[in-house]
Structure 1
Amino acid sequence: MNARRKTAALIGAALAPVIAVSLPAGSASAHGYISTPPSRQAQCAAGTVSCGDITYEPQSVEGPKGLNSCSGGNSRFAELDDDSKGWTATPVPRNASFEWKLTAQHATSTWQYFVGGQSIAEFDDNGAKPGATVTHQVDFGSLTGKQKVLAVWNVADTTNAFYACIDVNVGG
């Protein structure tokens, strides 16, 4: 290695830590949301509905376990709780597939699905770490017509969960 290269390498090695600590901290690695049928945050990201911050981070609707809000209690994403916002209801059969798109995989306790505050499905992962996508078959039973589904991904090793609301038209 010639002298110039050695000098450049030494300067680069000396400056790297300074540059690294001076860069702005990024947000935590994102997590997940329902992509199919399109959840409210997926509709925001696609521009189907005009939304705020959630447009750029549909995977970030995280809050304490046990909530029943589309926003996961996060005021930055409050528009997800607004039922009058013009959400598109996707036609689905009575036994429909819901696909989570995960941008960070967390050990999972359960995946839950609710309509009108009532549980319609639960899948127990016993702490397993999912892949990049997870699909569940959800049976709506006797429910028909327009419904708002609250889907919850309960992380196994934290007190938090990820939330997504999906507007569907069952049997439509």
Structure 2
Amino acid sequence: MHRKRKLALALGAGIAPLLVVTLPVNPASAHGYVSSPPSRQAQCAAGTIECGPIKWEPQSVEGPKGLTSCSGGNSRFAELDDDSKGWKVTPIGSSQTFNWRLTARHSTSTWQYFAGGRKIAEFHDGGAQPPATVSHTVNFGGLTGKQKILAVWNIADTANAFYACIDVTIGG
């Protein structure tokens, strides 16, 4: 009897690592994106623009911190980087509130907003867990005309961030 138990344990120990490697892994359940003004992924999710798989996963544009792409470097969502795709442009004033919809509330270091290749605003959360919706009012100063705003949610306890691009016309 003792011998059978040892054999069963040995077999189990040998098979367990194989199961861990071969069983499918579910992706993280969700994260967040800018819902208004409508980001590119929000437009995809609403069916405003025809897109690929981002239509069903607007909250999943995640990549390493420090990127400047709308897709977060994720090839599955490369359509978000295509400036010629016909994205709807939202007219805004010199100051605009951006609303994030969070489906997983990660500890946050900073929220950043870029326009014309430069940082326009940064909000520090010091590692706090945000609520399910987050709003930031960004002042664009003298910046006017059509702009692609890159909004970045930097996670405090990982090397990743979430990315969203919003097409706007400032002052129009």
Q: TM-score range by the shorter chain?
A: 0.7 to 0.9
Partner of residue 17, structure 1? none
Partner of residue 37, structure 1? 37
Cα distance in 2, alignment partners of residues 24 and 63 from structure 1: 21
Cα distance in 2, alignment partners of residues 116 and 73 from structure 1: 19
Counting only pairs closer than 5 Å after superposition, residues 144-155 of structure 1 correspond to structure 2 as: 144-155=144-155
Cα distance in 1, alignment partners of residues 24 and 45 from structure 2: 24
Partner of residue 19, structure 2? none
* TM-score w.r.t. length of structure 1: 0.85
Partner of residue 75, structure 2? 75
* TM-score w.r.t. length of structure 2: 0.85
Partner of residue 128, structure 2? 128
Q: List, as ranges, runs of 4+ consecutive aligned residues in structure 1 with deviation greater than 6 Å.
A: none
**How much has 1:25 moved relative to structure 2?**
4.8
Q: Deviations over 1:96-121 (max 9, x none)?
A: 00000000000000000001210000
Counting only pairs closer than 5 Å after superposition, residues 22-171 of structure 1 correspond to structure 2 as: 25-171=25-171
The one-letter amino acid paired with 2:98 is F
**Match of 1:125, SS?**
strand
The one-letter amino acid paired with 2:31 is H
RMSD of aligned Cα (Å) = 1.3
Cα distance in 1, alignment partners of residues 25 and 152 from structure 2: 28
Q: Deviations over 1:71-93 (max 9, x none)?
A: 00000000000000000010111
Cα distance in 2, alignment partners of residues 25 and 74 from structure 1: 18
**How much has 1:56 moved relative to structure 2?**
0.3
Aligned residues: 151
Cα distance in 2, alignment partners of residues 164 and 140 from structure 1: 17
**Match of 1:96, SS?**
strand
Counting only pairs closer than 5 Å after superposition, residues 7-26 of structure 1 correspond to structure 2 as: 25-26=25-26
**How much has 1:27 moved relative to structure 2?**
2.5
The one-letter amino acid paired with 1:67 is L
**Match of 1:77, SS?**
helix
Cα distance in 2, alignment partners of residues 97 and 115 from structure 1: 15
Q: Deviations over 1:98-151 (max 9, x none)?
A: 000000000000000001210000000000100000000000110111100000
